[in-house]
Amino acid sequence: MDQRQILERITAMVEDERRLRDGLTEGRDRTAERARLAELERELDQCWDLLRQRRAKSEYGENPDEARVRPSSQVEGYQS
């Protein structure tokens, strides 16, 4: 994935995340939505990490295509 594709994916996931969060505020039992929201949060962490890796590689003259998606356990909870 190139930088544009990663940003498009992030944008789509953020929109989905907002929709899910809005639905959760209605107060109904939304177990499936909560599970999907947790999954989205992990995927977003991975996408942001991949984007940062690509940008860093570009900045330092390395090939950004060598950046790889890291496991969610490694990138989960990174601070922006």
Report the C-alpha gap between 43 and 9 in whole angstroms: 10
**Domain assignments of the chain as residue spans, ordered by start:** 3-75
- pLDDT beyond 80 at 61: yes
Q: Residue 19 in contact with residue 40, Cβ under 8 Å? A: no
pLDDT beyond 80 at 77: no
At 78, the pLDDT band (50, 70, 90 cuts) reads low
Residue 21: the pLDDT is 86
For residue 76, what pLDDT is reported? 78
The CA distance from 61 to 13, in Å, is: 30
pLDDT of the residue at 27: 67
> pLDDT of 7-59, one tens digit each?
999 999 999 999 888 888 776 667 888 899 999 999 999 999 999 999 999 99
Sign of CA dihedral 3, 4, 9, 13: positive
